[in-house]
Amino acid sequence: MSNAISGFSKLSKSEKIEWLLDTYFTDKDIARKLVKQYWNSDEKLQKLHDEFIENTITNYYLPLGVAPNFSINGKLYTIPMAIEESSVVAAASKAAKFWLKRGGFKAEVISTEKIGQVHFTYDGYFNDLASFFKAVKPKLLSSASDITENMERRGGGILDIELRNKTEKLDDYYQLHATFETLDAMGANFINSCLEQFADTLKNEAEHNLEGNLDVVMSILSNYVPNCLVRAEVECPVSELKSKDIKNPEEFAEKFKQAVNIAEVEPYRAVTHNKGAMNGIDAVILATGNDFRAVEAGVHAYAAKDGQYSSLTHCSIEDGVFKFWLEIPLALGTVGGLTNLHPLVKFSLEMLRNPSARDLMQIVAVAGLAQNFGAVKSLTTTGIQEGHMKMHLMNILNQLKATPKEKVRLIEHFKTNVVTHGAVVEAIKNLR
Ligand SMILES: CC(C)(COP(=O)([O-])OP(=O)([O-])OC[C@H]1O[C@@H](n2cnc3c(N)ncnc32)[C@H](O)[C@@H]1OP(=O)([O-])[O-])[C@@H](O)C(=O)NCCC(=O)NCCSC(=O)C[C@@](C)(O)CC(=O)[O-]
Ligand SMILES: NC(=O)C1=CN([C@@H]2O[C@H](COP(=O)(O)OP(=O)(O)OC[C@H]3O[C@@H](n4cnc5c(N)ncnc54)[C@H](O)[C@@H]3O)[C@@H](O)[C@H]2O)C=CC1
């Protein structure tokens, strides 16, 4: 415990860095130089980034790539993607180009309801609590009117509050289960403020008008939003699947469907299958300044909604038509959070023509579907390594500190040779 420190948060940025260097690094000059190398030379811009979180010491770069040629409901988009993994942007771009010639992507928002809960305990009779809730519900709603005024003016606000009896799961456990429409905001802060107000009102009213003890445990939105759903899909006649990598479209369609069916019934495969979709989803979520932890948690809960973790995408072949679709819950914002603060987020949103939250839900779902299509297409044709390792080659060359000249020679060499880590090591050895 000799590294424990009290009052770290109160130190200045430089003091924090010096403490880190003294405590953990052998070559402090190199470590200090690295940390400072990532500072933006524009001090105002750096300060903006410093203030996003706490104890900031420097910036952590992720590449921002773009995938062009996405036709979504007849409109063309170039989709921004912030991600560290090679081949994801290439796969998205390739899938976009593939479907551009086959009718493009269709997407629709099914619902936009957000959820929040006040979790509380009550040791009296349920019937008493139910009558009390009925009487107090208008007060719960009106007590939050200061918070909801602006949202209501925009057409959103609180949709409903229900009392839920959870005592079969846990002694004395009840909830106020509230639903919200938060329009272009993800809504976490709005919902949490409403919930905390409900909790105060509930507690105060219970003290005077309810027999027994009512205790509020916590008030928080849920990141599980099964009624904030978006669907994206592609379809075309099986015969039109024919392309550079698909010589026999009927065989491809059957095998692709089989791969999706496997992910529907086999959790080990479903997790990896969905990871492929999340490659696209997370990259757009990050580029547009949304909360990827919230999205990840909610999407995976949805994938397990029927009691077993399963595929987020589905496939059918009916009457010679291949159809592939994805349905996911997404609580996104195009206002609030980081969206109006991070200059690259603003840039990304402008590139997407300043979408509403509903538009962004569709774009993100399409990115997920495209990514999953690209991965499963590779898996069921060439195998994943061929394309992925082709894209990963530059990372291996950089790891091996290849010179610019060596890179040119080896990129040429691997146009006709299979990329594996061993093969690249061998080839660079032969050159040197
Ligand atoms: C990697 C490709 C696209 C190569 O595919 P290819 O056929 O070698 O590409 P190409 O050189 O013929 O180019 C065709 C198009 O692909 C795109 N493309 C091609 N190269 C680039 C590039 N350098 N930069 C940007 N875009 C690129 C681009 O759209 C290009 O068109 P163009 O721009 O020339 O008009 C293909 O093999 C592929 O889609 N592979 C799938 C890769 C993948 O899914 N990667 C994710 C990481 S693996 C993983 O995490 C998930 C997984 C697989 O486990 C999920 C699962 O199991 O389901
Ligand atoms: N469990 C979770 O997911 C939690 C997430 N968070 C964080 O909360 C943030 C998101 O919260 P928000 O309340 O969305 O952001 P926010 O607190 O920045 O509020 C956005 C506000 O924008 C205003 N607004 C302007 N135009 C609007 C429009 N057209 N539609 C809707 N609202 C409009 C509204 O007053 C709205 O409340 C994210 O950064 C997230 O990481 C915070 C707590 C918990």
Distance CA 339, CA 336 (A): 6
Residue 392 is predicted with a pLDDT of: 87
3-state secondary structure of 377: helix
Q: Pairing relation of β-strands 214-222 and 114-122?
A: antiparallel
**Residue 306: how many CA atoms within 13 Å on its side-chain side?**
8
Q: Cα 324 to the chain's mean position, in Å?
A: 21
Which of 90-99, 302-311, 417-426 shows the lowest mean pLDDT across its residues?
417-426
Q: What is the predicted pLDDT for the residue at 102?
A: 98
pLDDT band with cut points at 50, 70 and 90 for residue 1: low
**Residue 79 Cα to ligand 1 middle (Å):** 15
Q: What pTM, to 2 d.p., does this model score?
A: 0.94
Q: What is the CA(189)–ligand 2 centre distance, in A?
A: 5
| Cα torsion angle, 216, 220, 224, 227, sign | positive
β-partners of residue 109 are: 230
Q: Which atom of ligand 1 is nearest to the CA of 65?
A: 25
Spot the catalytic one: 33, 242, 247, 275. Answer: 275
Half-sphere exposure of 25 (CA within 13 A, CB side): 15
Indicate the residue type of 106: K
Reply yes or no on whether the pLDDT at 127 is more than 80: yes
β-bridge pairing 157-165 and 114-122 = unpaired
> Does 384 contact ligand 1 (Cβ within 6 A)?
yes
Q: Which of 205, 233, 291, 359 is catalytic?
A: 291
Any atom of ligand 1 within 6 Å of the Cβ of 280 = no
What's the average model confidence in pLDDT over 112-117?
Answer: 98
d(CA 407, CA 338): 38
Three-state SS for 227-283 is: CCEEEEEEEEEHHHHCCCCCCCHHHHHHHHHHHHHHHHHCHHHHHHHHHHHHHHHHH
Question: Residue 305: its pLDDT value, please?
Answer: 98
Does the pLDDT value for residue 47 go beyond 90?
Answer: yes
User: Does the annotation mark 388 as catalytic?
Assistant: yes
- Are 203 and 219 a contacting pair, CB within 8 Å? no
Q: Does residue 275 have an active-site annotation?
A: yes
Minimal-distance CA residue to ligand 2 atom 16: 336
Protein residues whose CB sits closer than 6 Å to any atom of ligand 2: 150, 154, 182-190, 192, 221, 223, 291, 294, 333, 335-337
Residue 176 region by backbone torsions, left for phi larger than 0, else alpha for psi between -120 and 50, else beta: beta
Top mutation candidate among 152, 285, 335 for ligand 2, by most atoms within 8 Å of CB: 335
3-state secondary structure of 285: helix
CB 185 within 8 A of CB 157: no
Distance CA 261, CA 256 (A): 9
ipTM: 0.93
Lowest mean pLDDT among 22-26, 319-323, 335-339, 352-356: 335-339
Please write the tens of the pLDDT for every residue from 335-386. 998 898 999 999 999 999 999 999 999 999 999 999 999 999 999 998 887 8
The total of other beta-carbon atoms located within 10 Å of residue 103's CB is 14
Largest Cα–Cα distance of the chain, in whole Å? 85
Atom of ligand 1 nearest to the CA of 85: 47
- In the reported structure, the alpha carbon of residue 358 is separated from the centroid of ligand 1 by a whole-number distance in angstroms of 28
Of 16, 28, 49, 85, the catalytic one is 85
| Residues recorded for the chain | 432
From ligand 1's centre to the CA of 243, what distance in Å?
A: 14
Residue 12 has pLDDT above 90, yes or no: yes
CA of 6 to the centre of ligand 1 (A): 49
Token match 């009457």: residue?
319
CB neighbour burial string for 312-338, b if at least 16 within 10 angstroms, e if fewer: bbbbeeeeeebebbbbbbbbbbbebbb
| Pairing verdict, β 321-329 and 229-237 | antiparallel
**Contact yes or no for 322/236 (Cβ under 8 A):** yes
Task: Tell me the domains of the chain and their CATH numbers.
Answer: 8-50 (no CATH), 65-109+229-382 (3.90.770.10), 114-222 (3.30.70.420), 388-431 (no CATH)
Report yes or no: 39 and 46 within 8 Å, Cβ to Cβ.
yes
Are 225 and 113 within 8 A, CB to CB? yes
- Which residue carries 């609030």 as its tokens? 336
pLDDT in tens, 71-98: 999 999 999 999 999 999 999 999 999 9
Which runs of E-coded beta strand occur in 172-320?
173-181, 214-222, 229-237, 313-318
Mean model confidence pLDDT for the chain: 96
Query: pLDDT tens, 253-306?
Result: 999 999 999 999 999 999 999 999 999 999 999 999 999 999 999 999 999 999
* pLDDT value for 338: 87
Q: How many CB atoms lie within 10 A of CB 351?
A: 15
Alpha-carbon gap, residue 82 to 284, rounded angstroms: 7
Q: What percent of the chain has pLDDT over 70?
A: 100
For residue 386, give the ligand 1 atom closest to its CA.
37
Q: Look at residues 381, 363, 345 and name the one whose alpha carbon lies nearest to residue 64.
A: 345
Give the distance (Å) from ligand 1 centre to CA of residue 319.
30
